Amino acid sequence: MSEEFDKAYWEEHYHGRTAPRGEQPNPHLVAEAGQLQPGTALDAGCGHGTETRWLASRGWQVTAVDLATTALHHARERAEALGGEVTNRITWVEADLTAWAPTEETFDLVTTHYVHPAGSREALFGRLAAAVAPGGTLLVVGHHPCDSHSTAHASGPQVHFTAEEIAADLDPDRWDIAVAETRTRSATGHGEGEITLHDTVLRARKHP
């Protein structure tokens, strides 16, 4: 496994670092999943669980997976503060996405945000795509190669990619590509003020 993105790396990353109170879910998730009928969802690489909590609060039954024990601890605490109606909809799983394989054709929504795979990106996204139920949605949000901020703060050949690269690995006989584009969003950088980030967004629907 890569020394950069192994368990020790992520434990150190999350140690003493909690998501800000009132942190909002990823805007691309809100835009692309906000109108979907709630069902079962997989949040692959959930981190502090902001997207998991948003999905659960909207009625989704969410399986939230992350490698870092520390991140999951923080995520559970934040979810518990929202009460049982939300926490009862979440199953937390500590697992390494490099090797962990979700059950195939299980989830109405599979989503991942800014994943940093230690192994093959194609293999990971292949497993995530296989987990989407017929008629379900795959939503991948990542760092676009042109995004200078993430390029300066994250390394590794698997971190940056385009939507077209992900779409090319989806069988057109099984998938409809609804969105495959580069989008911008604003964020507050650490000591940098307001910054503009360039994201890769792919939304695809598996044929029923």
* pLDDT given at position 3: 44
Q: How far is CA 183 from the centre of its chain?
A: 16
Domains by residue range for the chain, with CATH: 7-16+31-206 (3.40.50.150)
* pLDDT given at position 56: 98
pLDDT in tens, 92-145: 999 999 889 999 999 999 999 999 888 899 999 999 999 999 999 999 999 998
Encoding tokens for residue 42? Answer: 């997989």
Distance between CA atoms of residues 44 and 126, nearest Å: 13
> Which H, E and C letters describe 163-182, residue by residue?
HHHHHHCCCCCCEEEEEEEE
Neighbouring C-beta atoms of residue 173, cutoff 10 Å? 6
Distance between CA atoms of residues 45 and 122, nearest Å: 16
Q: 12-16, 77-81, 115-119, 147-151 — which one is most confidently predicted on average? A: 77-81
pLDDT in tens, 159-186: 899 999 999 999 999 999 999 999 999 8
207 compared with 146, residue with greater pLDDT: 207
pLDDT band at 36 (very low <50, low <70, confident <90, very high): very high
pLDDT band at 12 (very low <50, low <70, confident <90, very high): confident
10 compared with 74, residue with greater pLDDT: 74
What's phi and psi for 205, nearest 5 deg?
Answer: -115, 130
* pLDDT given at position 16: 63
* pLDDT given at position 118: 81
CA separation (Å) from 199 to 97, 138, 163, 169, 175? Answer: 21, 16, 9, 19, 22
pLDDT in tens, 55-97: 999 999 999 999 999 999 999 999 999 999 999 999 999 999 9
* pLDDT given at position 191: 60
H or E element, residue 151: helix 148-153
pLDDT band at 188 (very low <50, low <70, confident <90, very high): confident
* pLDDT given at position 75: 94
3-state secondary structure of 140: strand
Distance between CA atoms of residues 189 and 197, nearest Å: 10
3-state secondary structure of 129: helix
Distance between CA atoms of residues 205 and 181, nearest Å: 15
